[in-house]
Structure 1
Amino acid sequence: MDGKEEILDLLRENARLSAEDISAMTKKSEAEVNAIIKSLEDEGVILKYAAIVNPEKDETCRDKVFAEIEIQCAPEREHGFDKIAERIYRFPQVKSLYLMSGGYDLKVVIEGDNLRDVASFVSSKLSTLNGVRSTKTHFLLKKYKENDVLYVEDESDRREGVMA
């Protein structure tokens, strides 16, 4: 494993690691670590550092509504799905957008303040775009795990019972 991959793996696990910590873990100098991280940022490999927040415990997020929308659309000549994807990802409500294989073409994850916001977005903005043939909206009810992060606390008692 080269230095870049090793450092990327460490940062994927904990983006708050300092160059000093990474240096100690990789046996590279702090200057080498800083140079590798800078090159990863410059090359666009590292796009952003972010905190993963449990929405159940964050008051500003607790009442937000998240929906996953399956979109069937017509690809554009010479651009495929890229142009319609670009029109969709520019909406501030869109948190994620993926080109998919299977029964639909694009998967969009959006955030709204309430059900009405999400419904309005789908009916007035998303479904009216040229090329959109159909949408199917699924509302997120509870997050258990996302990107290897558990959002639920295991409160069960795992001790074994004792028979007398």
Structure 2
Amino acid sequence: MKKLLQLLEEDCTLTTAQLASMSGMSEEQVKDAIRAYEEDKVVLGYKAIVDWDRTDRESVTALIEVKVTPQRNEGFDRVAERIYQYDEVESVYLMSGAFDLTVIISGRTLKEVAQFVGQRLATLEGVTGTATHFILKKYKEKHLIFEKREEQEREWIFV
């Protein structure tokens, strides 16, 4: 079963026949296992990883370090829950070290992201500090390497 989960994580577009062949299970076992994983929330969803730099969509992604005062009886969970409710927020992680939460957000512009941090995130009760880092270029995400764009042909004019 662990092999099936690894295969799904690597490529969720594989057919049940391919998954069965690669995992040593029957197609019926694969279907039943996937259904159970989805019902038990082991598999939360399926998502394509898109290289937005190869499209005409303008977008900015930022990693924000957030320092938080833990809440009585709830620790960091209440603050994290309030943060992940925002549409701009892609991911929230509890961290060890110099800060408490890592928040990944996306917006159309640097200004939009900065306004989100300054007006919504930093003002939340329990948030004591933030540090924003803008992602300039993605090289690898979820085990997938973002390939270099092919050099466009240049036209040379000699005089």
How many Å separate the matches in 2 of 1:141 and 1:147? 17
Find the residue that maps to 1:111 and give its secondary structure: strand
Aligned to 1:74: 69
Question: How much is the aligned-residue C-alpha RMSD, in angstroms?
Answer: 1.4
Residue identity over aligned pairs, in percent, reads 43
In structure 2, stretches of 5+ residues that fail to align are 151-159
In structure 1, stretches of 5+ residues that fail to align are 156-164
Whether 1:87 aligns to 2:78 is no
How many Å separate the matches in 2 of 1:27 and 1:88? 42
Whether 1:20 aligns to 2:17 is yes
Alpha-carbon displacement from aligned partner over 1:38-88 (angstroms, at most 9, x marks no partner) = 11111111111111111211222xx20111111111000000000000010
How many Å separate the matches in 1 of 2:95 and 2:19? 36
- Residue correspondence of structure 1 range 88-107 to structure 2 within 5 A: 88-107=83-102
Aligned to 1:161: none
Aligned to 2:133: 138
Alpha-carbon displacement from aligned partner over 1:92-138 (angstroms, at most 9, x marks no partner) = 11011111111001110111110111111011101111111111111
- Residue correspondence of structure 1 range 144-159 to structure 2 within 5 A: 144-153=139-148
**One-letter identity of the residue aligned with 1:143:** K
Any runs of at least 4 consecutive aligned residues in structure 1 with deviations exceeding 3 A, and if so which? Answer: none
Find the residue that maps to 1:108 and give its secondary structure: strand
